[in-house]
Structure 1
Amino acid sequence: MSSPEGEASSVDVAYCVPGGQVFQSVYMQIHGYIALLICLLGSAANSVNIAVLSRKEMASSTNSILTGLAVADLLVMLDYIPFALHLYTNIGSQQNNNSYGWAVFIYFHSIFSQTFHTISIWLTITLAVWRFIAIKFPQKNRTLCNKRNTSIAIGLAYAVCPILCLPFFFVMNIQEVYRNKNVNETLNDTQIVNASTKKGPAYAVMMTKNEDLLTAIFWIYSVFIKLIPCVVLSILSVLLILKMKSSDRRRQKLLKKSVITTNEGDKTRFNDDSGGKRGAGRTDRTTRMLVALLGLFLATELPQALFGLLTAIAPHLFQICYYAFGEVMDLMALVGSAVNFVLYCSMSKQFRSTFTRLARKVLPLPRPTGEQLVPLKS
């Protein structure tokens, strides 16, 4: 996009200066410590998710997708720990911020985190589609959402998403930069030159100056990686909620009919149609948990999608606006990846029971009489 420099400057000032820069300078003082805390807790929580969901008694298509999702989220947070530790806190060493090795890590981090976060996004979509099939077409669920198809869907997410993120390889490059004694440079978080560096070489990850390529990357990021998944998940969430309400009304009608009828055949048909009170309740809890998971995803991803779309429409806002709020966007993504454990524990009795049994094997806790666990149906 080729806007005159003066025009771009006036737009930047109108939208992001000086408020955005002031906010960034204040927030960056605490971002590293908040992000580290979330990453450490989230890494532990996702490790527990993997351990619990991969248990034999938890085997189901839904739990297989949730396990793949936990692996992707775990890798995103493990990658962010050294990044936050070194760049945003006083805990990590600041002496190598300008080294070639640190520039390579920044380059790797930018691509690695985006790739696995994209995997997480598309696994969430897969989860929503699987759940919709389960409650909309229950008679076809065992065929369409069987173990084989689920494994293929997870494998495709892990294989295709790196290809989808391949353009990010070309939008950044490592360059050698110099700092003169009398020059006071201000660069973004991937272009930091240590203030203590004397005249001599330093290395930084720089964005391409090709505006057409940059615009194309922003459209890929905002539309294909963020906005389309948000739209799809919004539609699926609404359909799941409507279907769940419809099923509730249908069960209530059948229940009333079963109360007033004396025909044993009608009672049998009611039990067959509703799947029984226990089965229906378990299905509803699973669906509600997944709707809550989708809602959490939309709350953390939709603002990033809209911000990315704004940047795609006006690429000159990237250097000023995006970097002013980039750390907040990172934090929202980390929160979304970290809180799934709390969601599972609060909404799934089966998850709590399996987690308790697993914890008793590791920790010296009292062992009450064991419970019979029923695998979560997909």
Structure 2
Amino acid sequence: MNILNLSNITNSTPEADSCIEIYHKAISFQFYTWGVVGNIIAAYGIIGNILAILVLRHRLMRSSTSYYLISLAVYDTGVLLAMILLMALPTIYLEKNILMEYYFVSVYMNQYLYPLALVAQTGTVYTTVGFTIERYIAVCHPLKAANTCTKSRTKRIIILIFVCSVIYNVPRFFEYTVVETWNSSLNRSVPELITTTLGSNTDFKKIYFICLQLVVMFLGPFVLIFILNIQLMWAVKNAKKTRNRMSTNAAKEANLTIMLIAVIVVFLLCQLPSIADNILWTMFDKSKLQCSLHYIRLTSITNLMVIVNSAVNFILYCVFGKRFRRVFIKIVYYPWKRKGTRYKYTLYDSSGSRRGNSMKVYNTESTFL
């Protein structure tokens, strides 16, 4: 996710008339793409991810897979928050000339929130890899699943993914810095985000952005996810042929697999366009890309698709996950249902005594779900 695209476009000063015209068209396009549509999607997504975490933490949902999905929801929420703070809100100032002070504050925030957003995106990618591998083992190699797909191992993997995501993105914290320049039209000093010596180093770009980025963030995980997902689809297709002979546990596993396949497919569809965006951003001159309206629209849409991917999982869980739906309904319905129905019942003690049967009346309370 190239969160800095907006900053790179708007902080530049186009000299040619064509670039000035493109500059204003880009601001308007990004306002409607990010400031309007993006804000709505992100707000819904944050709520959806919080609800997903509440459901996945329920005792009926606890499993190694639910731990992966909770971790995924946390990373997705981080991506959505970064989108709002760094992309959506700044476009409102640029288009409507409001929230000026926030816009300048966001420039300072960009230096730190942008790397954190990339940590969240890296975590999203490799958490998806994690539960894809786990589901592949559970479905295609069920005899190994009991010893491999355990909760304790899943927790260790989640921690490892987080640590590696942070370490991998450490250079991002030193890629940009903020300097203050005098703006005569505003009659004040304004912050400007500029590339550091490390960020502009040619060798650093070749090694980190071209070699590592393509292999670590795109080719490696996406090829693995794609191959394993094909295997999962094939396994589910074969399972449908023997549906009548499936046990209850097998049917639940099949339903969970279908739900995760849906998550993986949406992940691939939404994330793959960002690969082309990042390749273009790395290989071509940034000043030329900033004066290309087609590229600006492309990168705006690809960033929006990343946001959609971070916001849509709750819907997928509800549509494809039967147990998730039941637990969600239970959580939502429980606070509103009646306290219970009180009734009396009578027990007769027939101990065989000649003195007669004793009778006791009990009050009890029953609730119905």
Contact in 2 for aligned 1:21/1:324 (Cα 8 Å): no
Q: Which amino acid aligns with 1:94?
A: M
Matched, 1:344 2:317: yes
Give the deviation of 1:97 after TM superposition.
3.2
Instruction: Name which of 72, 76, 82 aligns with 1:73.
Output: 76
Counterpart of 1:201 in structure 2: which amino acid? S
| Pairwise CA distance, 1:357 | 1.0
Specify the code of the residue in structure 1 equivalent to 2:193: V
Instruction: Return the alpha-carbon distance in structure 1 between the equivalents of residues 80 and 44 of structure 2.
Output: 10
Q: What is the number of residues matched between the two proteins?
A: 315
- Alpha-carbon distance between aligned partners in 1 of 2:127 and 2:143, rounded to the nearest angstrom: 23
1:27 to 10, 26, 29: 29
Q: Report the Cα offset of residue 161 of structure 1.
A: 0.4
Pairing 1:1-378 to 2, within 5 Å after superposition? 24-30=26-32, 31-84=34-87, 86-89=89-92, 90=96, 93-98=99-104, 101-179=105-183, 181=184, 196-198=185-187, 200-207=188-195, 208-219=199-210, 220-249=212-241, 251=242, 274=246, 276=247, 278-316=248-286, 319-320=290-291, 323-363=296-336, 369-370=368-369
Q: 1:18 to 1:237 in 2, by over 3 A?
A: farther
Task: Kindly state the Cα deviation for residue 92 of structure 1 after the two structures are TM-superposed.
Answer: 5.8
Deviation at 1:320, TM superposition (A): 4.6
In structure 2, relative to structure 1, the CA distance for the partners of 1:66 and 1:60 (3 Å cut) is: same
Contact 2:271-2:306 within 8 A present in 1 as well? yes
SS in 1 for 2:180: strand
Q: Higher Cα Rg: structure 1 or 2?
A: 2
Alpha-carbon distance, 1:223 to partner: 3.4
Aligned-residue offset at 1:307: 2.2
Contact 2:135-2:257 at 8 Å conserved across structures: yes
* C-alpha displacement of 1:201: 2.9
Any idea what SS the aligned residue of 2:99 has?
A: coil
Higher relative strand content: 2
Q: Is the 8 A contact 1:46 1:73 kept in 2?
A: yes
Provide the secondary structure at the position in 1 that maps to 2:179: strand
- Deviating above 4 A after TM superposition, structure 1's stretches of 4 or more consecutive aligned residues are 16-23, 315-324, 363-368
Higher relative contact order (CA 8 A, sep 6+): 1
Q: Say if 1:42 and 1:339, in contact at 8 Å, map to a contact too.
A: yes
Pick closer, same or farther for the CA change 1:40–1:124 going to 2, 3 Å. same
Unaligned runs of 5+ in 2: 1-17, 341-366
**Native 8 Å contact 2:277 2:298 kept in 1:** no
Residue 366 of structure 1: how far off its partner (Å): 9.6
Percent identity between the aligned chains? 24
What is aligned with 1:259?
Answer: none
Deviation at 1:311, TM superposition (A): 3.1
Q: Which one-letter code corresponds to 2:231 in the other structure?
A: L
Three-state SS of the structure 2 residue aligned to 1:167 is helix
User: Can you list the C-alpha shifts for 1:196-233, whole angstroms capped at 9, x where unaligned?
Assistant: 522x5321112343333234342233432233222111
- TM-score in terms of structure 1 length: 0.75
Q: Is the 8 A contact 1:79 1:109 kept in 2?
A: yes
For 2:26 and 2:35, locate their aligned partners in 1 and report how far apart those are by CA, in whole Å. 12
Distance (whole Å) between structure 1 residues aligned to residue 79 and residue 267 of structure 2 = 15
Confirm or deny: 8 A CA contact 1:214 1:315 kept in the other structure.
no
1:369 alignment partner, SS class: coil
**SS, match of residue 59 in structure 1:** coil
Q: Deviations over 1:283-335 (max 9, x none)?
A: 22111111111110001111111221233333556545665543322211110
Structure 1 residues 235 and 21, CA, compared in 2 at 3 Å: closer, same or farther? farther
Change (3 A) 1:352 1:172: same
Name the CA shift for 1:366/1:230 in 2 (closer, same or farther; >3 Å). Answer: farther
Counterpart-to-counterpart distance in 1, 2:339 and 2:219: 48
Distance 2:98 2:161 in 1: 34
SS in 1 for 2:200: coil
Alpha-carbon distance, 1:69 to partner:
0.6
What TM-score, normalized by structure 2, do the two folds share?
Answer: 0.77
